[in-house]
Structure 1
Amino acid sequence: MAASVDEFSAPGFAIEAATDPALAPAVADVAAATFPLACPPHSRPEDIAAFIRENLGPANFAAYIASSESEVLVARADDGTLAGYALVHHHAPADADVAAVITERPSSEISKMYVLPGHHAHIRPSETRTAPPSHLLMRAAIDRARQRGSAVVWLGVNQENERAQRFYAKMGFHRAGVKTFDLNGRVEHDYVLRQSLT
Structure 2
Amino acid sequence: MTINIRKCSREDLKILQELSIVTFNDTFKDQNSPENMKAYLESAFNAKQLEQELSNTSSQFFFVYFHHEVAGYLKVNTDDAQSEEMGDDSLEIERIYIKSNFQRHGLGKHLLCKAIEIALECNKKKIWLGVWEKNEKAIAFYKKMGFVQTGAHSFYMGDEEQTDFIMAKTLI
| Common topology (TM > 0.5) | yes
- Alpha carbons 1:105, 1:152 under 8 Å: kept: no
- Alpha-carbon distance in structure 2 between the residues aligned to 1:48 and 1:70: 24
| One of 151, 159, 172 as aligned partner of 1:185 | 159
The structure whose residues are more often helix, as a share, is 2
Q: How far apart are residue 65 of structure 1 and its match?
A: 2.4
SS at match of 2:100: coil
Alignment of 1:46-65 (within 5 A): 46-65=35-54
SS at match of 2:79: coil
Q: Moved runs in structure 1, 4+ residues, more than 3 A?
A: 92-95
Change (3 A) 1:94 1:121: closer
Within the alignment, does 1:137 sit opposite 2:111 as a pair?
yes
SS at match of 1:39: helix
RMSD (Å), alpha carbons: 1.8
The aligned counterpart of 1:66 is 55
SS at match of 1:118: helix
Q: How far apart are residue 58 of structure 1 and its match?
A: 3.2
The aligned counterpart of 1:163 is 137
The aligned counterpart of 2:170 is 196
Q: How far apart are residue 70 of structure 1 and its match?
A: 0.1
Q: How far apart are residue 40 of structure 1 and its match?
A: 7.3
> What is the one-letter code of the residue matched to 1:184?
G
Q: How far apart are residue 30 of structure 1 and its match?
A: 1.0
SS at match of 1:30: helix
SS at match of 2:97: strand
The aligned counterpart of 1:15 is 5
- Larger mean Cα displacement after TM superposition, 145-154 or 111-120: 145-154
User: Which blocks of at least 5 consecutive residues in structure 2 are unaligned?
Assistant: none
Larger radius of gyration: 1
Query: TM-score, normalising length from structure 2?
Result: 0.90
SS at match of 1:155: strand
- Alpha-carbon distance in structure 2 between the residues aligned to 1:117 and 1:108: 26
Q: Deviations over 1:12-40 (max 9, x none)?
A: 2201111x201011011111011123337
- Alpha-carbon distance in structure 1 between the residues aligned to 2:45 and 2:146: 27
Aligned residues: 171
- Alpha carbons 1:22, 1:62 under 8 Å: kept: no
> What is the one-letter code of the residue matched to 1:109?
E
Q: How far apart are residue 77 of structure 1 and its match?
A: 2.7
| One of 3, 10, 18 as aligned partner of 1:29 | 18
Query: TM-score, normalising length from structure 1?
Result: 0.79
